[in-house]
């Protein structure tokens, strides 16, 4: 067994297909212990730290910070026996020596029928290698054997080649012979060699590069045949590709100095493009799916919460509550949980041919983080005492702010509260989290003139907004649920005495 073990990106929960490298906690050459955190990865659910599966010495890091990696792709390598001496130099057979950027129709290296490391041909068990030579279409700008230029398909927007179903060739149309070598067009300017000491590969020659390096070059648009490798046996390394890409980008910048033209007042040069991935990508997908699947209805209720605010003040003054974070959200959560006991249908899910009514409440709390909106939930919140609920809310918010919310804590929610009041907003029309039938928006608590006992007085007032799935909750049920939440916040002590 090889001393060097490659660690693939694991599936971090619920069938996620990719993750973004946020931060490396180690460097090449560091010695790590078993289960020591090595890298921080963000998925569509949360940011998590991945521990080392083996103890040893980090020999390679395959992806830099900010790179999106598919699940199963290797992200780092560990020498599991660093005390056994230096690792042997890699041979040419251990590097993937393949032609770079195969044309459409050619077999990729390592696939069935294509070249494999060591000059072998990858085949299925029980089948021999394919005897015919792989045919390749000439690249754009390359001439056919008869001297007639070959037309290339038009490029799709953003520089991505247009793809579609292959067009059948008429029987009367002559088929050009297979192209066995692709000369580099003389007009193409070669990217500067990132390092000295090597020579660029000749046209049609084989290039030494590992699969991750080839993929990186393909993503950055770098022709590996124009580079001088600085790795073992002249192989191309990741640094070679990055330096070549940086040099090409510098040369591609238009020379505006001395032209006498001023920069445009607006345009692409003053736009910022932010990749949509991770938490924000999943949030966008879920919100779009929910908004156009469940018929939303939103109702509003403005309530006097002066007594609730006084009750919180008395709660903070009690000796056993002095070290507990107490906020109006605590009473709103308690009001929702008690109202669900009166109206169980609000805590349900539409399942097509049936409605699933949950006998437990996994209370979700929408939290805004640097990476986007997440909705962790408190499991079986209806069974918690008021003190336990306060502790759970505090832990949930603190964990969310640090970006350490586990994927399991964001799944299985049944009912959600979004506290827009912390931003000074009166209320809103929230969108339902997928699979839930109701979400409550809690607005800002403000001092306002209010008719109290027949006189206009300054009272503390807030506005609640309840969005619900009209397939499950009709107007009467939604109104009764919202009224009960409002009644609790208007006089929480009387409600607790009468409802429990």
Q: Just list the catalytic residues.
A: 470
* 8 Å CB contact between 436 and 349: yes
Question: Which residue, 192, 415, 437, is CA-closest to 295?
Answer: 437
Can you tell me whether residue 497 is helix, strand or coil?
helix
Token pair of 225, please? 């045949």
Nearest to 440 by CA among 421, 424, 459: 421
d(CA 219, CA 249): 14
Pairing of strands 415-419, 363-365: parallel
Between the alpha carbon of residue 356 and those of residues 116, 340, 435, 436, 471, the distances in Å are 53, 15, 10, 10, 12
- CA–CA separation, 74 and 10 (whole Å): 9
Q: Give the CA distances from residue 440 to residues 283, 332, 333, 368, 372, in Å, rounded to whole numbers and listed in that order.
A: 18, 9, 10, 16, 19
Residue given tokens 């804590």 in the structure block: 409
201 HSE (CA, 13 A, CB side): 25
What would the DSSP string read from start to end of 205-268?
--EEB-HHHHHHHHHHT--GGGPPP-SGGG-B-HHHHHHHHHHHHHHHS---TTS-PPPPSSSG
Helix, strand or coil, per DSSP, at residue 182 = coil
DSSP sequence for 48-99:
EEEEPSS-EEEEEE-S-TT-EEETTSEEEEEES-GGG-PPPPPPGGGS-EE-
Spatial neighbors of 170 by CB under 8 A, at least 6 apart, are none
Length of the chain: 500
């Amino acid at each position: 067994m090889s001393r060097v073990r490659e660690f693939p990106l694991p599936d971090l929960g619920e069938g996620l297909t990719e993750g973004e490298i946020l931060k490396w906690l180690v460097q090449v050459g560091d010695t790590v212990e078993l289960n020591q955190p090595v890298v921080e990865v963000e998925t569509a659910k949360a940011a998590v730290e991945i521990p080392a599966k083996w103890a040893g010495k980090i020999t390679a890091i395959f992806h830099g910070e900010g790179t999106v990696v598919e699940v199963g792709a290797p992200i780092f390598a560990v020498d599991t026996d660093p005390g056994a001496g230096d690792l042997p130099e890699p041979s040419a057979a251990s590097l993937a020596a393949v032609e770079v950027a195969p044309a459409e129709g050619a077999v990729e290296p390592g696939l069935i029928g294509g070249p494999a490391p060591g000059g072998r041909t990858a085949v299925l068990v029980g089948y021999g290698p394919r005897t015919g030579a792989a045919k390749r279409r000439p690249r754009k700008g390359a001439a056919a054997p008869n001297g007639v230029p070959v037309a290339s398909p038009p490029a799709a927007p953003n520089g991505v080649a247009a793809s579609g179903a292959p067009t059948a060739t008429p029987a009367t149309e002559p088929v050009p012979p297979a192209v066995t070598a692709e000369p580099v067009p003389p007009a193409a300017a070669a990217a500067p060699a990132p390092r000295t000491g090597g020579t660029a590969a000749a046209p049609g020659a084989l290039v030494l590069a590992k699969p991750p390096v080839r993929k990186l070059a393909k993503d950055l648009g770098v022709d590996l045949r124009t580079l001088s490798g600085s790795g073992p046996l002249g192989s191309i390394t990741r640094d070679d590709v990055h330096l070549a890409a940086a040099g090409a980008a510098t040369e591609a910048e238009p020379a505006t100095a001395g032209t006498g033209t001023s920069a445009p007042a607006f345009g692409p040069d003053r736009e910022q493009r932010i990749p949509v991935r991770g938490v924000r990508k999943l949030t966008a997908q879920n919100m779009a799916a929910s908004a156009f699947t469940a018929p939303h209805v939103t109702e509003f209720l403005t309530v006097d919460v002066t007594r609730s605010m006084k009750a919180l003040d008395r709660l903070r003054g009690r000796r056993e509550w002095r070290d507990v974070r107490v906020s109006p959200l605590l009473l709103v959560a308690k009001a929702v949980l008690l109202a669900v006991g009166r109206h169980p249908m609000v805590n349900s899910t539409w399942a097509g041919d049936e409605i699933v009514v949950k006998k437990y409440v996994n209370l979700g709390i929408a939290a805004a983080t640097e990476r986007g909106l997440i909705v962790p939930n408190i499991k079986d919140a209806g069974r918690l005492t008021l003190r336990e609920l306060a502790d759970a809310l505090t832990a949930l918010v603190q964990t969310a702010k640090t970006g350490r919310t586990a994927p399991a804590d964001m799944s299985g929610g049944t009912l959600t509260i979004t506290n827009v009041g912390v931003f000074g907003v009166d209320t809103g029309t929230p969108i339902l989290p997928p699979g839930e039938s109701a979400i409550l928006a809690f607005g800002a608590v403000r001092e306002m003139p209010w008719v109290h006992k027949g006189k206009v007085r300054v009272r503390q007032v807030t506005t609640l907004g309840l969005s619900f799935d009209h397939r499950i909750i009709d107007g009467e049920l939604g109104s009764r649920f919202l009224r009960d939440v409002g009644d609790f916040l208007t006089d929480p002590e009387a409600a607790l005495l009468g409802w429990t």
